[in-house]
Amino acid sequence: MEAVSRTPVSLDQVARAAGVSRTTASRVFSGNQAVSDLARQAVERAAAELGYVPYNATRSPAASRSESVGVVVPEPGSRLFLEPLLPRLLRGIGEELSASGIQMVLFSPQSPADVHRLEHYLAGGHVDAVLLLTLHESDALPSRLQARGIPTVFGGRPRGSIEVSFVDVDNHAGGRTATEHLIEQGRRVIAHISGPRGLHAATDQLQGFREAMWNAALRSDLVEHAAFDRDSGEIAMERLLASTHRIDAVFAASDEMAAGAMWALQVLGRRVPDDVAVIGFDDSPVAATTQPPMSSVRQPIEDMGREMARLVLSLASTRADGHRQMILGPELALRASTIGRG
Amino acid sequence: MEAVSRTPVSLDQVARAAGVSRTTASRVFSGNQAVSDLARQAVERAAAELGYVPYNATRSPAASRSESVGVVVPEPGSRLFLEPLLPRLLRGIGEELSASGIQMVLFSPQSPADVHRLEHYLAGGHVDAVLLLTLHESDALPSRLQARGIPTVFGGRPRGSIEVSFVDVDNHAGGRTATEHLIEQGRRVIAHISGPRGLHAATDQLQGFREAMWNAALRSDLVEHAAFDRDSGEIAMERLLASTHRIDAVFAASDEMAAGAMWALQVLGRRVPDDVAVIGFDDSPVAATTQPPMSSVRQPIEDMGREMARLVLSLASTRADGHRQMILGPELALRASTIGRG
DNA sequence: CACGCCGATGGAAGCGGTTTCACGAACACC
DNA sequence: GGTGTTCGTGAAACCGCTTCCATCGGCGTG
């Protein structure tokens, strides 16, 4: 019976075949209105026989929406963001949207031309709301979306204006918490391996480190910058040890760098945690596999994704034009690399 | 002048403000029809003043399309596919679509419920065509798309029916080519570290290995299965060496496994390539950083992506209902690990 | 039995934009 | 001056679907 026609079947055809009006047929599929069982069954039978597939793309904006939210992610293959964070963030976003029956739609522009086309596409009403995860943000996109009345939420605080909604994790608190933990463990000469200069997240962590050290009246000048990866962490640690032999703890801005630092320490005969405690950042899989297992600052990235989704859906439903901001605090994942001494 | 109105501006408003009909205004934005300079400028000025943003979501299917192609990728965080292949594939697809002015739209369903919603969404006409990269494919999706007349192309040969269009790389030829290269270098006792049993790609490579060995009248029973990662490659190599000491070459089904194998060989005192040649698969970044640098089979993944995009666009424009298949051959990336012999 | 209410239904309008078609004006050609 | 061909234009139809509104029949109530 299944007719595989070349041209799509319209709601009108289904309605005619079922002997009802297009209105009634529409109600059967949208589901929220009263339709008699008789009519419903007739429509459903006709739809099955004709192979009807609802065509939702033409819904008007005044009425129902497209039931989808766009998420703009950095281009695939861009490091720095890709490693462990993006999947966790997307999982959080996806879970929350899925629970609301909303389709998550991903975009990954690879060139300026792509960004330009994406602006048109998103402003064109194909999605009900937009989440922006990409950092180097074109200015045109948010304002275009605003002109269309499309709610937008940033992941991570954007550099520019404050007139936007965003959700971020608290890197400042993360840096402070990690450092305070080391101080509580009795460490006094604490070094910090920071991320690249100028990067927002790295700067926040560094200031958190400095604040904690200042509060404890400890010197906070043992700082090296590195590129987030293992090798540069190893080199940074070697430089730190060359400058001061008395270091008894290290806080690195990523687990990769912390693992590199731990390696450098052990190669040079320092015991972890007996001689030097090591704490990383992100609580990535690496942290659990080092020898000894490594303490790390766990940012609630999945929660961040969920909150982004929740926030943008709330903005979309209330159509309020206010801006909301949310900052989520870190947790410590404590393991052997910072616990105990000797 | 820029009016930031709460409600979107419609084409009608722009036309009225410009003193022309909606038809003429439409022609200005679609751009392909003759409009006098006077009218054009009036419309453009009015659009700028009102802050008009075209709303493309309601275009009829009979007429113009949505100018977008959906790509269904595995869930973020699923290994095995994620590592180096997916970014390369997406880059190829994205480049080709971008060149045609088509928006690439990504979907990454995380649960059966997500897959079900995605079926509705894609069949709902939000995209003009679909590329399927996910392997464990629900049956409903392709047939639904077909009912809607939405062209679909698979990345990688799907397990089931042959009545589909797909583009794939030739893993069989890849395995054969790698093995033949080792044979040409004078190697005779060649082992193979294969991927997980039952995986399509791994089986094809294994059969290519066997074919090349058979043609050269060499024994092809030195085969271990591993999980594509470095550690399991190392263990597999140790097992192979335990069974036969005379091995003089290894072909591994991934660069990670090959790197693990090379490590195991060197720990056990074998020189690479002097005693044992090593060749990997995928030509990932790992291959260039081993000591010595590692030969590898380079699959043209970017080309595969480009061909997928080209194929699906061709299907969309011709509206032909035939199925087309394409299989791309491998290349060898030769480095020190297989060249020369002490 | 008159009245009012409610559930089910279909006609028609509407959504934002494109395309068909016919009309009028300008222009070229004989 | 008549004829034919463009070119620019706008009214109207159209796309697939939703929703407003009026209608109709059945039912309970006084």
The average pLDDT across B193-200 equals: 89
Chain C nucleotides with an atom closer than 7 Å to a protein C-beta: 7-12, 14-20
Partner-chain contact B147 A53, CB within 8 Å: yes
Beta partners for residue A71, in sequence order: A106, A131
Q: Is the Cβ–Cβ distance between B131 and B102 less than 8 Å?
A: no
More confident residue, B226 or B55: B226
Tell me if A95 and B103 make a contact (CB, 8 A cut-off): no
A21-40 pLDDT per residue, tens: 999 999 999 877 788 999 99
- The DSSP H or E segment spanning A54 is none
Q: B294 with B337: CB under 8 angstroms? A: yes
For nucleic chain D, which protein residues have CB less than 7 Å from any of its atoms?
A 8, 10-12, 22-23, 26-27, 29-30, 54-56, 58-60, 63-64; B 19-24, 27, 33-36, 38-39, 58, 60-63
A68 to B126: CB separation less than 8 angstroms, yes or no:
yes
Place of tokens 């300026």: A112
Residue B278 has pLDDT above 90, yes or no: yes
CA distance A150 to chain B (A): 10
SS3 category, A241: helix
Q: Is strand C less than 7 A from the beta carbon of A161?
A: no
For domain A68-170+302-329, say whether CATH 3.40.50.2300 is its number: yes
CB B302 within 8 A of CB B308: no
Task: Give the pLDDT confidence of A268-294 residue by residue, as tens digits.
Answer: 999 999 999 999 999 988 899 999 999
Q: How far is A58 from chain B (nearest CA, A)?
A: 4
Cβ contact, residue pair A120, B76, below 8 Å: no
What is the identity of the amino acid at B110?
A: Q
Q: Is the CB of residue A308 less than 8 Å from the CB of residue A91?
A: no
Which nucleotides of strand D lie under 7 Å from a protein CB? 7-12, 14-20
DSSP for B187-213, please give it: --SEEEEE-STT-HHHHHHHHHHHHHH
The percentage of chain B sitting over the pLDDT mark of 70, rounded to a whole number, equals 91
pLDDT in tens, A206-227: 999 999 999 999 999 999 999 9
The Cα diameter of chain B in Å comes to: 88
Q: How confident is the model at residue A187 (pLDDT cuts 50, 70, 90)?
A: very high
- Say if the Cβ atoms of A53 and B7 lie within 8 Å: no
How many separate helices (H) and strands (E) can be counted in chain B? 12, 12
Task: Over range B182-210, report the average pLDDT.
Answer: 94
Assess whether the region A11-54 and the region A68-170+302-329 belong to the same CATH fold. no
Residues of chain A contacting B6 with CB distance shorter than 8 Å:
149, 321
Mean pLDDT computed over every residue of chain B: 88
Q: Look at A76 and B86 and tell me if their CB atoms are within 8 Å.
A: yes
Is the model's pLDDT at A240 over the cut of 90?
yes
Alpha-carbon dihedral B237, B241, B247, B253, rounded to 10 degrees: -20
Q: Which of residues 49-88 of B touch strand C (CB under 7 A)?
A: 54-56, 58-60, 63-64
Helix-then-strand count for chain A, H and E: 12, 12
Residue with tokens 């058979």: B214
* Cβ-defined contact of B114 to A107 (cutoff 8 Å): no
Provide the CA A38 to C1' C7 distance, Å, integer. Answer: 14
Using DSSP's 3-state secondary structure scheme, residue B247 falls into coil
Q: Which two tokens stand for residue B240?
A: 């192979």
Beta strands in chain B (DSSP E): 68-72, 103-107, 129-132, 152-155, 165-169, 190-194, 223-225, 249-252, 277-281, 295-298, 325-328, 331-333
What residues of A are in contact with residue B90 (Cβ under 8 Å)?
76, 108
Question: For position B80, what pLDDT does the model report?
Answer: 54
Lowest mean pLDDT among A144-158, A163-177, A282-296, B236-250: A144-158
- 3-class SS at A138? coil
A208 Cβ partners below 8 Å, 6+ apart?
A171, A172, A173, A174, A175, A176, A177, A178, A179
**CB A21 under 7 Å to nucleic chain C:** yes
CATH topology for B171-299 is: Rossmann fold (3.40.50)
> pLDDT value at position A4?
46
Q: How far apart are CA A299 and CA B255, in angstroms?
A: 32
Q: Please indicate whether, in this complex, the C-beta atoms of B91 and A107 are within 8 angstroms of each other.
A: no
State the Cα–Cα distance between residues B304 and B311, nearest whole angstrom.
Answer: 10
Task: Supply φ then ψ for residue B169, to 5 degrees.
Answer: -95, 155
DSSP run (H or E) holding A225: strand A223-225
Which residues on chain A are in Cβ contact (under 8 Å) with B111?
98
CB B130 within 8 A of CB B151: yes
Better-scored residue on pLDDT, A108 or A149: A108
Residues 6+ apart with CB under 8 A from B166: B153, B154, B155, B156, B157, B158, B325, B326
Interchain contact, B114 vs A106, CB within 8 Å: no
CA A187 to chain centre: 33
Q: B338: closest CA among B281, B299, B300, B295?
A: B295
Of B57-66, B167-176, B232-241, B321-330, where does mean pLDDT reach its minimum?
B57-66
B230 to chain A, closest Cα gap in Å: 14
The superfamily in CATH containing domain A11-54 is: lambda repressor-like DNA-binding domains (1.10.260.40)
Q: Which of B4, B88, B114 sits opposite A98 (nearest CB)?
A: B114
Strand order in the sheet with B190-194: B223-225, B190-194, B249-252, B277-281, B295-298, B331-333
Best mutation site among A52, A65, A121, A230 for testing chain B: the one with the most B CBs within 10 Å? A121
Burial class of residue B116, CB neighbours in 10 A (0-12, 13-18, 19+): middle
* CB-based contact B175:B207 (threshold 8 Å): yes
Closest-CA distance of chain B to residue A210, Å: 34
Q: What is the pLDDT of residue A342?
A: 46
Higher pLDDT, A140 or A123: A123
Are the CB atoms for A69 and A127 separated by under 8 Å? Answer: yes
Per CA to C1' distance, which residue is closest to D18? A63
Of all residues in chain A, the one with the smallest CA distance to B67 is A121
What confidence tier does B259 reach under pLDDT thresholds 50, 70, 90? very high
Q: What would you report as the CA-atom Rg of chain B, rounded to the nearest whole angstrom?
A: 27
Question: Cβ of B110 and A126 within 8 Å?
Answer: no
Secondary structure class of A221 (helix, strand, coil):
coil
Question: CA-CA distance, B115 to B107, in Å (whole number)?
Answer: 10
A126 vs B contacts (CB less than 8 Å) = 56-57, 66, 68, 126
Q: What is the pLDDT averaged over residues B62-76?
A: 80
CA of B43 to C1' of D6 (A): 24
Domain boundaries, chain B: 11-50, 68-170+302-329, 171-299
Asked if the Cβ of residue B289 lies within 7 A of any atom of strand C, the reply is no
Query: Would you say A39 and A20 are in contact if contact means Cβ atoms under 8 Å apart?
Result: yes
How far is residue A217 from each of residues A172, A179, A189, A190, B246, measured CA to CA in Å? 18, 13, 11, 12, 65
**CA-to-C1' distance for B23 and C30, Å?**
37
pLDDT value for A313: 92
Task: Tally A–B CB contacts below 8 A.
Answer: 152
pLDDT of residue A80: 54
Residue numbers in A near B59 (CB within 8 A): 57-58
Contact at CB, B68 and A8, closer than 8 angstroms: no
pLDDT for res A248: 95
Best mutation target, A59, A103, A114, A134, to test chain B (most B CBs within 10 A): A103
